[in-house]
Amino acid sequence: MTDNKTTADWEKLAERELKASPDTLTWQTPEGIAVKPLYTEADTANLAHLGSLPGISPFTRGPRATMYAGRPWTIRQYAGFSTAEESNAFYRKALLAGQKGLSVAFDLATHRGYDSDHPRVTGDVGKAGVAIDSVEDMKILFDRIPLAEMSVSMTMNGAVIPILANFIVAGEEQGVSRADLSGTIQNDILKEFMVRNTYIYPPAPSMRIIADIIEYTAKEMPKFNSISISGYHMQEAGATLVQELAFTLADGREYVRAAIAKGLDVDDFAGRLSFFFAIGMNFFMEAAKLRAARLLWSRIMEEFEPKKAASSMLRTHCQTSGVSLSEQDPYNNIVRTAYEALSAALGGTQSLHTNSFDEAIALPTEFSARIARNTQLILQHETGVTKVVDPLAGSYYVESLTSELAEKAWALIEDVETLGGMTKAIESGLPKRLIEEAATRRQAAVDRGEEVIVGVNKYRLNEEAAIETLEIDNRAVRDGQIRRLEKTRALRDPVVWQDRLDRLKYTARTGKGNLLEAAVEAARARATVGEISDAMRESFGDHTAMPEVVTEIYGPASSGDPEYQMIVSRLRAEIDRSGKRPKILVAKLGQDGHDRGAKVIASAFSDIGFEVIAGPLFQTPDEAADLAIEKGVDIVGVSSLAAGHKTLLPELVDELKASGGGHIIVVCGGVIPRKDYQFLMDHGVSAIFGPGTNVVDAARAVLDLAEGRLRNE
């Protein structure tokens, strides 16, 4: 045992080496945890969770007794792009190369419940996932993939009813009953209202949809996980690990309550709930986070008095961080992903997706996807990490982190309970505001160089080598989808189709019956994703979020930065000279709901002194142009993360010119390959800011453009 005398001896040695107190090495994390340079047995002396064993409540050391020593985690790579045919070919190659389960990425048109021929989705079809319009697409997607044997995960929340209905019917027509289908549907709408934004309906009917899916799958699909409660998108939006942990588990508690209110017994469904966490670069804390998640979920489930141990057992899928990937020196991303994958394994994940190194630039190529998949195969087969259950157990540092994360997350969960649960908390705006503030603080730390990102704000290359990227011909994909839609509509029985849609509308309107059950019948009659979504829209309406700009976060965090002070002073001088503040509209075009970058830019630019208009999500180019002209802005800054830039940005420039706004400067930022820069410049875009751009540098470039425009007025 380490005694006080031994610790005192260490402190003397450390002080001699540092010529200062070892306390100067204490690291304050974004979670508010003070990480000391040394942990000893004394730090774990009173931790209640110590002594637990894997497979036994509270499951801190893992949900299964033997964990990877008995069976390694499932390699479940998230993929989908272009058409169902292209994605199917990609899936079959991946399965032959060692992948063990499928995880389907849908395009944004599908996420938002639009068919590919809808005028609002011209730039979104097939770009950030696979386009699915009907059962015919779903059948092609899983052609020659035996659904009776293959576990399929589907990341879908907004249009969850038609997508799951189409999957069930595709299985039937492959000869697989719904009772034999295995996999997971994400079905986590609360986090959409917080961060991801691929919602369709308001919160109340959205919660009804979730309860109906849990009810239907509990009765009809015993091998299928009815919900994957996701913290991944929270961390990607900027949440600290404590926020990710607390809000994810609070969401889970809300879903359990909704299912019980539907009349279900907790043991009939709780064992099929699953979770989904991001794994970032704080290596040991990410591993501790998964351990704390299991500990807290077991505590939460005590409220519902389950009889089965599986009902209190947190099982999770993990994905390495997308935000940690950089456009600059992108091969560094291979190393980052490998460390994150190891952290997830040491934390005890049940399945894992590893990101490809080029995803900060474009959709992954087959080459980069193979490296990402092999990262997991090497981890499983060459490192020995699967030989021992919970190798980090007993670590003074990791056990202390597990306890501190659990304690801080529980306090935040209790705050949510005080507000009346997660739905009420979301309505109050608390989670969204806290996450946006955390994202803005982190960006300020990166811009100041306090948080080092190799190749981005330190150790940068003098010249970046070009890498091959994947490009999807959006127009060709959309044209093909429209042709298949027209054929599907022409061949279906119009009487049966209308009857099934009318039954779905009745179920939505009256609350009588199960929405998924009614949608399965509609899908069987070849109702499309858009038609099923619209049938529910008639009763539920659309959810519209009002954008808000978080202020006084970036500025105070950057107050000591001379570069920041210089741009603030320069902007004030321009305002004094011209008599007006440069006005910028921060816009999101298309169906991409990822708004972290847009929110951070809006917040930082506001603190710097620009007049900022935060545009609503999901605008078409003509709507953004109309808003820009109405507000009299000088600049439109478009945030693009979903590969629709070559369609949407030229349309915006053309709409501005056609509406008398040709003088308005258009700039853009986000996931845009460098090879597309010249195309965008040729089509009227004045500046492009890739991932990792310092916000102060971006503000300086935008001010240069604004000064030129204002002085020519």
Residues recognised as catalytic: 78, 232-233, 588, 592, 594
Spatial separation of the C-alpha atoms in residues 73 and 68, rounded to whole Å? 6
Helices 203-220, 241-261: inter-axial angle, 10-degree rounding: 70
The whole-angstrom distance between residue 233's C-alpha and the CA centroid of its chain comes to 3
Tokens of 143: 């052609």
d(CA 137, CA 325): 32
Closest among 578, 588, 606, 574 to 703, alpha carbons compared: 574
Other CB atoms within a 10 A radius of the CB of residue 511 amount to 12
| Integer-rounded Cα radius of gyration of the chain | 26
Spatial distance between the Cα atoms of 669 and 671, rounded to a whole number of angstroms: 7
The secondary structure element, H or E, covering residue 319 is strand 316-320
**Which residues fall within 8 angstroms of residue 708, CB to CB, at 6 or more apart?**
none
**End-to-end alpha carbon distance in the chain:** 76
Taking the CA atoms of 186, 189, 192 and 197 in sequence, report the sign of the dihedral they define: positive
Name 678's Cβ contacts closer than 8 Å, sequence gap at least 6: none
Q: How far apart are CA 405 and CA 414, in angstroms?
A: 14
Q: In what order do the strands lie in the sheet with 74-79?
A: 224-225, 182-185, 151-154, 101-104, 74-79, 351-353, 316-320, 273-279, 227-230
Mind spelling out the 3-state secondary structure of 170-181? HHHHCCCCHHHC
Residue 265 β-bridge partners: none
Tokens encoding 73 = 């985690």
* Tokens linked to 271: 């064992």
Contact indicator for 611, 631 with CB cutoff of 8 Å: no
Check if the beta carbon of residue 351 is closer than 8 Å to that of residue 75.
yes
Contact in structure between 510 and 93 (CB atoms under 8 Å): no
List Cβ neighbours of 38 (8 Å cut-off, separation of 6 or more).
Answer: 10, 14, 22
Exposed, middle or buried by CB within 10 Å (0-12, 13-18, 19+), for 494? exposed
- H or E stretch covering 185: strand 182-185
CA atoms of 226 and 677, how far apart (whole Å): 42
Q: 188 - beta bridge partners?
A: none
Encoded tokens for 494:
């119009």
3-class DSSP state of 230: strand
Element (H, E) at 365: none
Cα distance between residue 54 and residue 61, in whole Å = 5
CA 200 to CA 175: how far, in whole Å? 32
Measured distance CA(177)–CA(170) in Å, rounded:
10
Dist. CA 120–CA 123, nearest whole Å:
8
Angle between helices 283-301 and 396-418 (to 10 degrees): 50
Query: How far, in Å, CA of 446 to CA of 483, rounded?
Result: 47
For tokens 């050391």, the residue is 61
Q: List, in sequence order, every residue forming a beta bridge with 230; answer none if it has no partner.
A: 276
Q: Which residues does residue 78 pair with via DSSP β-bridges, in sequence order?
A: 103
In one letter, which amino acid is 645?
H
Backbone phi and psi for residue 669, each to the nearest 5 degrees, phi listed first: -150, 160
